[in-house]
Amino acid sequence: MQENWVAVNPSTGSQWGNLTTSNLTNLNFTNNRLPGRISGIKWNDYNGNGIRDVNDNPLSGWVITLKYQNGTVVGSKTTGADGSFVFDNLAWEMYTVSETLKSGWKQTYPAGKTYSVEINATSLNVINRDFGNQLIPSCCNCPVKAYFTYKQVASPARTIQFTDTSTGYVTDWSWSFGDGKTSVERNPLHTYSKAGSYTVKQYVQTIKCDGKTAWVSYTRTVTVK
């Protein structure tokens, strides 16, 4: 059997014949090429930088379409709760993968908007054909206010759960915990090495109507027991 082919008939890939007659016929073999697969993730590019950052959550319910290069639609998939989509059992062909843009959003990844993918012997499982989208601010230049709450969790000791409650159109988060440590998560969990009062600074980024970004901050004292 050659690489990347699969036996269809017989499925074992071998047959037995009895050589009692001089001509043994009908020992046919049917083989198919192994099917290909294309997969990816759809994610929310909050800050529109075309990179999947730590807070860029998956987007479910988006339609991803697979076409042959002549434009004929092979099929479409709706992204799952984890943002993923998979096209399976693909013949060895050239394909185009594209998304259906939803109103109020812009596409930030990939730069070329669609993917050209070839399924062949050396490229059977094509992954990471991802799509990033950013919600277009419905209110640019609207007021942004950074704010957070916090709660000490039972274990491990001296661990604080920070919860972002900022308002307005926020695209990025950054934290300085007052003990020299930082985070870029939206709702970080942080463990302090010792009890005490810490000055925690939260920064949130927004996008102005002219497309420029701006940071707004909020500072509060956090008591760690």
Give the contacts of 26 (CB within 8 A, at least 6 positions apart): none
Nearer to Ca ion, 55 or 152 (CB): 55
Stretch that binds Ca ion, among 1-9, 55-63, 89-97, 149-157 (CB under 5 A): 55-63
Stretch that binds Ca ion, among 56-64, 154-162, 183-191, 201-209 (CB under 5 A): 56-64
Segment (H or E) for 55? none
Identify the three-state secondary structure at position 158. Answer: coil
Site string for Ca ion, 68-107 (x = CB under 5 A): ----------------------------------------
Using CA of residue 87, residue 89, residue 92, residue 93, what is the dihedral sign?
negative
Shortest CA distance to 106 belongs to which of 207, 216, 215? 207
Tokens 């942004």, residue located:
144
Contact yes or no for 202/164 (Cβ under 8 A): yes
Nearer to Ca ion, 126 or 164 (CB): 164
Which DSSP state fits 93? Answer: -
Is 174 an interacting residue with respect to Ca ion (CB under 5 A)?
no
Identify the three-state secondary structure at position 11. Answer: coil
Shortest CA distance to 62 belongs to which of 47, 93, 40, 46? 40
Q: State the residue number with the nearest CB to Ca ion.
A: 53
**Closest distance of CB 64 from Ca ion, Å:** 19
7, 53, 158, 168: which one contacts Ca ion (CB under 5 A)? 53
Nearer to Ca ion, 130 or 179 (CB): 130
44, 45, 87, 203: which one contacts Ca ion (CB under 5 A)? 45
Can you read off the two tokens belonging to residue 44? 């929310």
Contact yes or no for 224/192 (Cβ under 8 A): yes
Length of the chain: 225
Identify the three-state secondary structure at position 135. Answer: strand
Instruction: Count the site residues for Ca ion by CB under 5 A.
Output: 6
Is 49 an interacting residue with respect to Ca ion (CB under 5 A)?
yes
**Closest distance of CB 146 from Ca ion, Å:** 19
**Closest distance of CB 106 from Ca ion, Å:** 13
**Closest distance of CB 50 from Ca ion, Å:** 7
Stretch that binds Ca ion, among 16-24, 47-55, 67-75, 109-117 (CB under 5 A): 47-55
Q: Which residues bind Ca ion (CB under 5 A)?
A: 45, 47, 49, 51, 53, 56
